Amino acid sequence: MTETIDADWLSGEDARAVTAALEGAGHQALFVGGCVRNALLGVPVTDLDLSTDARPERVMALAEAAGLKAVPTGIDHGTVTLVHRHHPVEVTTFRADIETHGRHATVRFSDDVAEDAARRDFTMNALYCDPRGRIVDPLGGLTDLRARRLRFVGDATARVHEDYLRILRFFRFHAWYADPEGGFDPGGLAACAEGAEGLDRISAERIGGEIKKLLAAPDPSRALAAMARTGILARVLPGADATAVARLTALEPPRGPAVGPASGPASGPASGPTTGSSPDAIARLAALGGEEAADRLRLSKAEAHRVERLRAAATGEAGAAELGWRLGADDAHAALAIRAALAAQGLPAGMAAAVALGAAAEFPVKPADLMPAYEGPALGARLRQLEAAWIDSGFALDREALLALPDDG
């Protein structure tokens, strides 16, 4: 009996418009990769990718005849993005590799879906389905997916040497989709360790993207530990401490069910973790540490600033209430959890109440209250003195009491 999937996106207007244009002209139209994998796992699908035996120029012509916008996003490698009502569907011609160069490949177009499947990274990503939801499984990936077993397609060493970014994808996909109680495929792990030097050819942007997506997994600790054992973590981020992330993950509040990584960079929410929210990848990155993380992972300015701020707060001595005032409740919680993880301790008693007290507090003295008696550096020094006294009082001193304090500077 043919395996099928039943997903809303299969019958949606975007999918039907694209598949009708291809199948109406006698071509195959097979959804592939993440949309099929996630549908089988019962988790949300964010992007639609199609494979077809139609050549790229033919795809362009059929799309335009059907009133679809066609964008040749990667036409030399067979990829055309078709847009229906502002919703993109990426369509790629079946391909086989002629030469691989560690990141890019020279390809020839094919009429055989099995050839297309053979060039993919993992068996669970080499699953296809037709517009009626019937699964096409050239490599037995469905069995692996059901067992939550991550395996490279064919020879693991060959797959890694075709594209060294697959090393990091191996660990990221293991964290997201593999059985958390299962081990790593020995051949795949050995191939990643053997090919680790190839990561030096990969751009910092792509390495950073993979690391952030890995850190956004429900529990990345096993994957990070394996990266550390094989020397891969030290290669991409020297000085990183995988054990700190494992401890931090154990301290984090319970969350909703995992739904798989988003299609864009998984940088975590702008603020810290809250119950039921997605994991905070940037807080975990602050716990992970490492030398020159901002450059090695090509973090955005906002990400780099937050990592630095959380790390400084976690390794500093400010109390929970003060951090609540300085960082806000969410980042104060994140910093205190990182501090506990780095020290291999539990969260401090009364942390939530202290953080809430600080987050709600408002320093009652304004610079204008001290002028013109104080100006320039003297003004800043006096404000810092009064601020310290206010914090030491548990935010109890009011404006009048603070202004009455003697100047000890």
Q: What is the mean pLDDT of residues 146-165?
A: 95
80: in domain: yes
Q: Considering 147, 170, 192, which residue would you say is the last residue of a domain?
A: 147
- Whole-number pLDDT of residue 280: 96
Buried b (16+ CB within 10 A) or exposed e, 370-397: beeebeeeeeeebbebbeeebbeeebeb
pLDDT tens digits for range 173-190: 999 999 988 899 999 999
Tell whether 34 is covered by a domain. Answer: yes
In one-letter notation, the amino acid at residue 106 is T
Helix axes 329-342, 242-251, angle to 10 degrees: 130
pLDDT for the residue numbered 96: 87
The neighbouring-strand residues paired with 30 are 51
Q: Work out the number of other CB atoms within 10 angstroms of the CB of residue 155.
A: 11
Which secondary-structure segment (H or E) carries 312? helix 301-315
Residue predicted with more confidence, 73 or 304: 304
Residue 140 within a domain: yes
Q: Is residue 258 pLDDT above 70, yes or no?
A: no
Q: Encoding tokens for residue 199?
A: 């990561």
pLDDT tier, 103 (very low <50, low <70, confident <90, very high otherwise): low
In the predicted model, what is the mean pLDDT of residues 344-365? 96
The pLDDT tens digits for 317-353 are: 999 999 999 999 999 999 999 999 999 999 999 999 9
Q: How many CA atoms lie within 13 A of 342 on its CB side?
A: 21
Q: Among 21-30, 95-104, 280-289, which stretch is predicted with the lowest mean pLDDT? A: 95-104
Is residue 182 in a domain?
no
C-alpha span between 330 and 321 (Å, rounded): 12
The answer to the question of residue 120 being in a domain is: yes
Question: What's the pLDDT score for residue 3?
Answer: 87
CA geometry: angle at 213 spanning 209 and 214, to 5°? 115
pLDDT at 100 over 90: no
Q: Which of 111, 132, 147 is the last residue of a domain?
A: 147
With respect to residue 279, please indicate whether it lies within any of the assigned structural domains. no
- Average pLDDT over every residue of 81-101: 87
Q: What is the pLDDT of residue 276?
A: 46
pLDDT of residue 182: 86
- 395 occurs within a structural domain: yes
From 85, 120, 147, give the residue that closes a domain. Answer: 147
The domain that holds 35 is classified in CATH as 3.30.460.10
CB atoms < 10 A from the CB of 254, how many?
6
- Which residue segment(s) compose the domain that 387 sits in? 362-403
**Which residue spans within 193-245 are E strands per DSSP?**
none
Question: Domains in the chain: how many in total?
Answer: 2
pLDDT at 271 over 70: no
Residue 39 counted as domain residue: yes
pLDDT band at 219 (very low <50, low <70, confident <90, very high): very high
DSSP state of 207: H
